[in-house]
Amino acid sequence: MPAAAPSAPAAAAHVAAPASSAGTAAPAGTAAIGELNDETLAALDAHWRAANYLSVGQIYLLDNPLLAEPLRPEHIKPRLLGHWGTSPGLNLVYTHLNRAITVRDLDAVCFWGPGHGGPAVLANSWLEGSYSETYPDVTRDAAGMARLFRQFSFPGGVPSHVAPETPGSLHEGGELGYSLSHAYGAALDNPGLLSVCVIGDGEAETGPLAASWHANKFLDPVHDGAVLPVLHLNGYKIANPTVLARLPEPELDAFLRGCGHEPVTVSGDDPMTVHRALAHALDGALDRIALIQREARTEGETRRPRWPMIVLRTPKGWTGPRQVDGQPVEDTWRAHQVPLPAVRENADHLRQLEEWIRSYRPAELFGTDGAPRPRVLAPVPAGARRLGANPHANGGLLLRDLPMPPLEPYAAELPDGRPGAGSHEPTRVLGGMLARLMADTAERRDFRIVGPDETESNRLQDVYEATGKAWQDRTLDTDEHLDRHGRVMETLSEHTCQGWLEGYLLTGRHGLFSCYEAFAHIVDSMVNQHIKWLRVTRELPWRRPIASLNYLLTSHVWRQDHNGFSHQDPGFVDHVLNKAPEVVRVYLPPDANTLLSVADHALRSRDYVNVIVAGKQPCFDWLTLEQARAHCARGAGIWEWAGTDDGTGEPDVVLAAAGDVPTQEVLAAAALLREHLPELSVRVVNVVDLARLLPREEHPHGMPGAEFDALFTADRPVIFAYHGYPWLIHRLAYRRTGHAHLHVRGYKEIGTTTTPFDMVVRNDLDRYRLVMDVIDRVPGLAVRAGAVRQRMEDVRLRHHDWIREHGNDLPEVADWRWTPRGTDGG
């Protein structure tokens, strides 16, 4: 590959923003590397070589870290693990960011998309000293270097990817696709932050990454920081060339310009040429960013800027072995993991490895004590400016409690305090409270709502009274609520929404993701990674707790009137409940006030993933706010007013519900039983917090056995109406004493065109079916209540014919209301 200068001139016309212009004293060393002279380039190269040396050392060396003696097989790790290929490129970017941060006193974080290159980021953290500050036993000397090498991808050590354990990391380096949306999330409401994002050309092929190019249409140059994408074209993924690296250059350029960027290409394989070109390109990009921000912030420019980006074309596995066993390795996919695979067994590989490591000239880089020499450290910024020590990358350090509004002004009033006398759209009620929260964070700007074009559809539109929808492009007179400074983020990509929110939370802010329930599965894999992140950070005392990731799943499975089968899937809850119980919480509030209470709790919480499933359609109000708070605090409880259980003994049957529609059907079934079988003792139980069903040893919210038995009994039939797939309830409760008596009704995969109530009927979750279940399962009732059972069956059949004729539910269903005990003689 021929070496080349940047393909576009380093925007000399733009305003340079050296450290002095930032208003702070230039840190020590600035002068030495501010000017791009030979000494600066030599320092950059030394830093880069040191990072490369440390990267190779981590992959290979168990001992002899400074190569004080000739390499012998016993110095080599028995299992060679890790990814070399991307590491030199990451080291190059880290090195040059160091210089830029130092010279300009930048407040910067970096998202390492090719996070498989764990050795690189670890190497740089160790060089800059943040590693030893975080892990004092890994000192910045020969002993610490030995530990750094040994621990890498070694039992009891650290992961081979960039991970929560890595200082400065904000992004798990495993699954690809999320780096750029994370980087944008970090930049939101952080006007002073530079959020750099290295995007691998493998990652660039993924859907989530492809979508997130357009996140720049939502970045406010006034209130948000800058995102600087660095597209690293090293040409190969695991075993193939990459699409973007093989495009004709004009096509790639058109693509990136079409994504709204001003790309500058740095390309080459001669280190000093690339150092010079990259330093120029970075200076040019940062000048341009400074100009864009000044124009927007002080000159009132409102057009969406063309943000700069860098295309970095360097060989995969650069500076590694050119050939191994006669096969080309450097600059091919063969450099992806461990280029020399048989070092312990093969003397030739061992020799090649030694040559490779020594090619970095370690004696120039490290003293005999193993400490990096001053020239190596010349580009490194000081203190919290170091990428491994920036507090934004440990967002809990910056997190402030939200100013949670009182709930009372937003609560649904129950006429005369009577359950079921009134109704509200629960998410709309929540929207009132969220609007206030939006208003109360207008100055702080640390709360955002994200959603795939569904905020209004999900009935949260009251928030637009407090803020608009982020939008930087052209607007028309007919547009509503579009706002260059808005804090509601809407784009039709669940991936981008999730990525924004994760990046925002990880940098110490708060938020809510509202989404159609069925389509939350689109981010199954992303939430996996976030839960893993939270799970691991809980064991890292230096990682401070961050705000929870809160999902409001609405437009749920039971009410897809406009859509149907394709929009039905209640399984996101199942997916999430497979993950770490320390992190996962699932709530199914049965009405508006319980939703308020649950959301209030979720927004105050830390380090969780809270999944709240709630309807947007009108729903009876069952509990006052005070009752709702008490119910939510318990997570599950007996609704005495709804049953006929006199509390003096065990009931004949327990009717339980979790979810808003199931709760309504259970109450309607309870009313039918009261009417038709008044002598039956029926207990009504409602579950808000699903994890309460788990044993205590399986989840922190799990109920002790005695409490479970007191609620559900040990031996009476329990008919449980559940919002989602019925077997989830069995999977949670299978260890309970009375499990054999538990019968669950829930969602089935049916998919026909129905009315709302017919949806319930076709899934056998309707009131009539529940009454039949009771009759079938309470011993002795089958014969005695045969006529009642038949009556229930008859209504269901009548309903079937009625809706096909009229297109709407039976009047007795459509007009149903709860009748309190006593008012009907029951």
Q: Binders of a copy of itself among 780-819, rule CB under 8 A?
A: 803-804, 806-808
- Only one of the segments 420-428, 515-523, 708-716, 781-789 lies at the binding site for a copy of itself (rule: CB under 8 A); that segment is 515-523
Q: Is 197 helix (H, G, I), strand (E, B) or coil?
A: strand
Residue 337 lies near a copy of itself (rule: CB under 8 A): yes
| Helices first, then strands: H and E counts in the chain | 28, 22
- DSSP codes of every residue in 577-600: HTS-TTTEEEE--SSHHHHHHHHH
Site for a copy of itself in 6-65 (CB under 8 A): 62
494 to 513, contacts with a copy of itself by CB under 8 A?
494-496
Task: Report the alpha-carbon distance of residue 736 to residue 749 in Å, rounded.
Answer: 27
Applying CB under 8 A, the span of 186-194, 309-317, 488-496, 613-621 interacting with a copy of itself comes to 488-496
Which residues make beta-bridge pairs with 610?
A: 550, 585
Q: Considering the complex, state which of residue 519 and residue 641 has its C-beta at the smaller distance from a copy of itself.
A: 519
C-alpha–C-alpha distance, residues 147 and 135, integer Å: 11
Q: Is 496 left (phi over 0), alpha (psi -120 to 50) or beta?
A: alpha
Segment near a copy of itself (CB under 8 A); pick from 96-104, 379-387, 454-462, 715-723: 454-462
Contact 264, 197 (CB under 8 A): no
Give CA 783 to chain center in angstroms: 54
Choice from 270, 734, 798, 812 touching a copy of itself (CB under 8 A): 734
We find the least distance from the C-beta atom of residue 123 to a copy of itself, in angstroms, to be 17
Q: How far is the CB of 457 from a copy of itself (least distance, A)?
A: 5
The answer to whether residue 540 forms part of the interface with a copy of itself (CB under 8 A) is no
Stretch that binds a copy of itself, among 20-28, 171-179, 365-373, 432-440 (CB under 8 A): 171-179
The full DSSP string for 526-593 is HHHHHHHHHHHHTT-TTSPP-B-EEEEEES-TT--TTT-GGG---THHHHHHTS-TTTEEEE--SSHH
Q: Which of 194, 189, 195 has the alpha carbon at shortest distance from 224?
A: 189
Binding residue for a copy of itself (CB under 8 A) from 401, 524, 640, 715? 524
Q: Does 176 bind a copy of itself (CB under 8 A)?
A: yes
Site for a copy of itself in 604-623 (CB under 8 A): none
Give the interface segment with a copy of itself, choosing from 203-211, 266-274, 588-596, 788-796 (CB under 8 A). 203-211
Q: How far, CA to CA in Å, does 742 sit from each of 333, 427, 726, 779?
A: 56, 31, 11, 14
| 8 Å CB contact between 602 and 585 | yes
- Give alpha helix (H) positions in 299-402: 347-358, 362-365, 374-377
Instruction: Decide: 712 and 738 in contact? Cβ < 8 Å.
Output: yes
Residues 707 to 726 in contact with a copy of itself, rule: CB under 8 A: 725
Q: Which long-range contacts (CB under 8 A, 24 or more apart) does 784-789 make?
A: 785/676, 785/677, 788/676, 788/677
CB of 814 to a copy of itself, least distance (A): 10
Mapped onto helix, strand or coil, the DSSP state of residue 449 is: strand
Taking the least distance from each CB to a copy of itself, the nearer of 154 and 641 is: 154
CB of 336 to a copy of itself, least distance (A): 9
Q: 720 in helix, strand or coil?
A: strand
The binding track of 263-302 with respect to a copy of itself, each residue x by CB under 8 A or -, is ----------------------------------------
Binding residue (CB under 8 A) for a copy of itself from 168, 185, 225, 260: 260
Determine if 243 is a binding residue for a copy of itself (CB under 8 A). yes
Contact flag: residue 692 with a copy of itself (CB under 8 A):
no
Q: Establish if 311 lies at the interface with a copy of itself (CB under 8 A).
A: no
Of the pair 204, 399, the CB lying nearest a copy of itself is at 204
Asked if 738 and 716 count as a contact pair (C-beta separation under 8 A), the reply is: yes
Task: Give the interface size with a copy of itself as a residue count (CB under 8 A).
Answer: 127
Out of 253, 262, 483, 776, which residue is the one contacting a copy of itself (CB under 8 A)? 253
Choose one: 121-129, 280-288, 330-338, 376-384; the region binding a copy of itself (CB under 8 A): 330-338
